[in-house]
Amino acid sequence: MSRPVQRLAAAAFAAACLAAPALAADPPLPQGGAAILMWTPEQQAFGYRNMEKINPYHVVARGDRVRELPAGEPIDPKWTWKGQAYDTASYMAAMRTSGVLVLKDGKVVLERYGLGRTAADRWTSFSVAKSVTSILIGAAIQDGHIKSLDDKVSAYIPEMKGSAYDEVTVRDLLTMTSGVKWNEDYTDPNSDVAKVGLSILEPGVNPVVSYMRKLPREAPAGQKFVYKTGETDLAGVLLSDAVGEPMSQYASEKLWAPFGMEQDAIWVDDVAGHERGGCCMSMTLRDYARIGQFMLEDGVAGGKRILPEGWVADATAPHVKFPSDPTYTGYGYFWWLIPHGYEAAGIFGQNIVVYPDEKLVIAINSAWPSADDDALWAAQEAFAEAIREAAK
């Protein structure tokens, strides 16, 4: 999800958020791949919870134990945004929200569903998967598979030698500061984000690696922030090469099984059958919230440290700062920094928001009418802030 440092003025909120009518029956399966960026509202509501029927994928297996989420004291946030009064129900209807779940001290204080979704239905993550990739890279450092964030990318992906990534470090990837030129325009079918990983360019070479190693440099490594989904896909290749197994298997071993996720997740593949580190996991709303709780509990699962001590603090520190942006104050290791906390975010309104001081986790899934609209993000941040106030 792209976040410009200088935010545009918020557009007319109500006009952008018209809820589609309920469907009487499931529509035909929409086309997968880059076409997902152009789905109709009806296709979104069905397709986002049925990605395993549309795209090839790997399974992230759950374990034998489920981490219980007991009920807490319910909250009922009410707030005003742009002169309009909202409660949870009216917000969900206006913003095409399929699920909202809030954990306070590890207990469920708010849980609602919409757009035909139930608690058992998975929903696609879009770029929330980037933050899971960040978690897994932390786990690989803890396990000794990745020696240092200051290692060169080419030390783990030799095919990148001789490209614009020669001087790019793992840390540069995680902070989106490689300096390599990239186009993240979700409305342009010829943009880099619409093409990366979707065609075999060189037989025997991962298609993401093939695509990324042909890109030109536009700035010195480590100096310029540009949001690049391709680099999170590249980070996924680096991870699986480093640990010697598929990302989905490592995710099962390090997060899904030990933390007690309630249902298998799926992770969509590129055309070579490799999970995309930058996109498209599908999981239940409760498992989205459990990811936030895992971060809140400092990367410890089942009494065992999965992430290095201090990793969560480092991953959610402002390695890139946005001093002119009142909402998004910086960027960590595939985590966005916000006032009072941090979040994982994906286009069309996917969110895991963590407020550490309040021991609060908010998981939100949506099917917005546009991929990355500043007005919609600002409205969702206002909702999260209203939840934070109600939970105090």
> Could you tell me the maximum CA-CA distance found in the chain, to the nearest angstrom?
57
Fold for the domain defined by 34-127+247-390: Beta-lactamase (3.40.710)
Tell me the per-residue pLDDT of 82-135, one tens digit each, with 9 for 90 and over: 999 999 999 999 999 999 999 999 999 999 999 999 999 999 999 999 999 999
Tell me the per-residue pLDDT of 152-195, one tens digit each, with 9 for 90 and over: 999 999 999 999 999 999 999 999 999 999 999 988 888 998 88
* Phi, psi (deg, nearest 5) at residue 66: -110, 130
Tell me the per-residue pLDDT of 46-56, one tens digit each, with 9 for 90 and over: 999 999 999 99
Band of residue 25 on the pLDDT scale cut at 50, 70, 90:
low
Domain ranges of the chain: 34-127+247-390
Band of residue 218 on the pLDDT scale cut at 50, 70, 90:
very high
Tell me the per-residue pLDDT of 347-367, one tens digit each, with 9 for 90 and over: 999 999 999 999 999 999 999
Contact 135, 307 (CB under 8 A): yes
pLDDT of residue 81: 95
Tell me the per-residue pLDDT of 290-340, one tens digit each, with 9 for 90 and over: 999 999 999 999 999 999 999 999 999 999 999 888 788 999 999 999 999
Q: Which of 233, 313, 312 is nearest to 277 (CA)?
A: 233
Average pLDDT over residues 231-239: 96
Band of residue 29 on the pLDDT scale cut at 50, 70, 90:
confident
pTM of the model: 0.91
β-bridge mates for residue 80, sequence order: 85
- For 331, other C-beta atoms within 10 Å of its C-beta total 25
Percent of the chain at pLDDT above 90? 82
Rg of the chain over Cα atoms, rounded to whole angstroms, equals 20
